[in-house]
Structure 1
Amino acid sequence: MADNIDKDDVTGIDTTGHDWDGIKELNNPLPRWWLWCFYGTIVWGIAYTIAYPAWPLVNAATSGVLGYSTRAEVAEQIAAVDAQNAEVAQRLASADLAALAPDDPAYRYGVAGGASVFLANCSQCHGAGAAGVQAGGYPNLLDDDWLWGGDLEAIEYTVRHGIRNDIDPDARWTEMPAYGDIFSDEEIAASVEYVLALSGQEHDAALAEQGTELFLDNCAACHGEAGEGIREMGAPNLSDAIWLYGGDRDTLTETVTYSRFGVMPPWGQRLDEAEIKAVTLYLHQLGGGE
């Protein structure tokens, strides 16, 4: 075997036998300091898995002999903060929101806490700044155009029960028919032109005139004869420039043809009373609350 060992001609050191275009790898031993560090990491890893939670099991992980848990530590810290705020949180939970003054500690606590509740639960749809996402039909909560009303009572009800969900029997519920199953293509086009005219946009006047009777016979019951919407029914105002899904001709045609059916979950089953009222206060004071 010794006769088969390849040695480097210059250094006289054994090679590994690897050859890359004439370049050979010397079989030098690893530095002692590196080896000791490597062995140390192995010892450290074994000690760590014995002392701390490490190995995942079916429902949990090994707890380790020290029983330390960062989750438990955070839970303790949260519990300590909750205990400090228990009194003001209870005041908020039982408060009449309309009667809370802005300088009331319960009001300030609610707005600050409501921001956290919003970011954790609502921002995924309405955006971190609550400006909404038109492409998905998630409303802007910063303006004063509220389908169901933007006062404290209306906002709290919407947060608590949600919209068009099958979970809460008290959810707000209305449904626009899909007029693609009712109107002809020509009637849909005429209706769209009439809605464009209502909102002051460029439109085909002749088609809009044809759409007048269609709108009054089929749409005015919910949107009102002037197209200004009816909040009790959650029917939007069609005469302004604020649109939940978009107000251009193509988007309106899609809306009239296929309808829309946005759903919001009922947060009353997920948040406690103080959190519901906190996020209500937060939303109301953003600028669009009435």
Structure 2
Amino acid sequence: MAHEEIDKVTGVSTTGHEWDGIKELNNPLPRWWLWVFYACIAFAVGYVFVYPAVPLVSSYTTGFLGHSQRASALADAEAGKAARAEVGKQLANASLDQIKSDPKMLEFAMAQGRAAFGDNCAPCHGSGATGSKGYPNLQDDDWLWGGKLTDIEHTITVGVRSTSPDTRMNDMPRFGTDGLLDAKQIRNVAGFVLSLSGGSVKGADVAAGKQIFAENCTACHGEDAKGSTDLGAPNLTDKIWLYGGDEASVINTITVAHRGVMPTWGGKLDPVTIKSLAIYVHDLGGGT
């Protein structure tokens, strides 16, 4: 049996451990600390059986109290769904202007529109809605079919050159592919068009191009070349180009006439989501 050593100063026995002449006293833990420790153990044991921690006590995860975190999560989800449904009913019965003027409905519409845009529109227009070649930038103020709330809602609903019987439709002639203009004429009219926004085409006769434009293009783009939202004809006097504003791109556009397609979202998205999308896109900064 080991000899018990008593510290002369405190009168407490030592543990036998010593470091550099310093001996460890065998002081017991404070009683309050021990009671807290034991209480924690008892609480943990009780918690395991009362709440869902030990399977197959009264069911697969519910414990003695019948509590289920999954059930609580589902209940919260249903409550959120019910709240959204209530606001959704308000949006369904409200006009776009009424939604814009009501802070609660506007907040809901913006959140839903942002989510719907990310799921359905971002693959083409980009997550920031700035578009790319062939896909319109929705943050500028250049709209083929109009930038008012009702215009945007209608475009989203029926699409462009898509499956809806009411889809937005225009067909620019394929002046080169169909032999309506020869290469020289196309170069000349491209030179005239680019001159309207400060550009140029090497070797183009701008005066001749102006005459060709008057004979072939004004019906849609107008005599001033500022386009028409009724016809979906772009403004050719600014520097915003859907398929590129350099010499080669403009000549190519006149030659083959790009005819991009936007899906018809009516029937694929519910009316409230389409309203929300219209408000979100309008709020990006380019809406009129």
Taking structure 2 as the reference length, the TM-score comes to 0.71
**Aligned equivalent of 2:183:** 185
In structure 2, C-alpha distance between the alignment counterparts of 1:120 and 1:279, rounded to whole Å: 11
Shift of 1:184: 0.8
Shift of 1:200: 1.5
- Would the alpha carbon gap of residues 75 and 231 (structure 1) be closer, same or farther in structure 2, given more than 3 Å must change? farther
- Would the alpha carbon gap of residues 116 and 95 (structure 1) be closer, same or farther in structure 2, given more than 3 Å must change? same
Mapped pair 1:174 → 2:173: no
- Would the alpha carbon gap of residues 188 and 202 (structure 1) be closer, same or farther in structure 2, given more than 3 Å must change? closer
Q: Deviations over 1:169-194 (max 9, x none)?
A: 01000010100121011101101101
8 A contact 1:102–1:108 mirrored in 2 = no
**Aligned equivalent of 1:150:** 147
| Corresponding residue SS for 1:268 | coil
Shift of 1:80: 4.2
Taking structure 1 as the reference length, the TM-score comes to 0.71
Mapped pair 1:207 → 2:205: yes
**Aligned CA-pair RMSD:** 2.4
Structure 1: gaps spanning 5 or more residues: 1-65, 67-71
**Aligned equivalent of 2:105:** 106
Shift of 1:74: 9.1
**Aligned equivalent of 1:95:** 94
Shift of 1:84: 1.7
Shift of 1:204: 5.2
Letter in 2 for 1:177: P
**Aligned equivalent of 1:242:** 240
**Aligned equivalent of 2:121:** 122
- Would the alpha carbon gap of residues 257 and 161 (structure 1) be closer, same or farther in structure 2, given more than 3 Å must change? same
**Aligned equivalent of 1:262:** 260
- Would the alpha carbon gap of residues 250 and 203 (structure 1) be closer, same or farther in structure 2, given more than 3 Å must change? closer
What percentage of aligned pairs have identical amino acids? 44
- Would the alpha carbon gap of residues 229 and 74 (structure 1) be closer, same or farther in structure 2, given more than 3 Å must change? farther
**Aligned equivalent of 1:24:** none
In structure 2, C-alpha distance between the alignment counterparts of 1:263 and 1:119, rounded to whole Å: 19
Q: Deviations over 1:245-270 (max 9, x none)?
A: 10110001110000110101111111
Letter in 1 for 2:236: L
Aligned positions, number: 220
Question: Radius of gyration: which is bigger?
Answer: 2
